[in-house]
Amino acid sequence: MENLHNKLVSRGVASLDDRELLALMVEAADERRSPLAVADALLSEYGSLANISHAEISRLRMSEGLGLKRAERLIVAAEIGRRVGAVTSQNVESISSDGDVARVMRPLFDGLKHEECWVLYLTSSNRLIERQRVSQGGVQATVVDHRLVVKRALELLATNIILTHNHPSGAAEPSGADRTLTQRVKDAAALFDINLLDHVIISSEGSYSFRKGGLL
């Protein structure tokens, strides 16, 4: 582990891979087992750092003999990362692609076990005015009132809007309900010369853009 600490100091934290980062997080003063071996076992059990960060602490503490303190350390580090990501995403001033939408919204969606639908309200030059949650629901669906979406756009004098929601189940492909919602919001917004630029679905497996998919 001394070599790993030296690498961190001399080359920076970005030089560490997932296994090495995890080993440093689970290192203990009274080591009975190599932290790298524990990190390997955790990654094998959970599949990725993301899955570890979303694990229930009651399960995590039992994995590889971590115990409560080290499990708490992992969960706290994950939450710090999510909160930093959320703050950073708020600094995005303009939205020019579905990639920008994913960068803004993924920190808010990561770890959610239910669906949430948000709207990004934009100026004519696509500067972000506000992002607002308009609905939250169950694991597979959420209900959105398209009238409230348009009402808020008029209040903000937004000329462009983008819908975005998460799929906790994993796959990012749109459902029939997603397509219906998109069309309803598009039609309602068009009555007031407001453009629905895109509907971006975000999941742990990636994202889906209605614009790129030819559905808008």
Domains present along the chain, CATH in parentheses: 2-87 (1.10.150), 94-209 (3.40.140.10)
Q: Residue 169: which of 146, 143, 209, 142 has the closest Cα?
A: 142
Tell me the CA distances in angstroms from 86 to 38, 109, 112, 159, 204, one per residue in order: 30, 10, 14, 25, 17
Q: Write the DSSP symbol of residue 127.
A: B
Residue-level pLDDT at 112:
81
pTM reported for the whole predicted model: 0.62
Report the chain's mean pLDDT, rounded to a whole number: 86
Residue-level pLDDT at 27:
86
Over 50: is that where the pLDDT of 135 sits?
Answer: yes
Top pLDDT among 200 and 142 is at 200
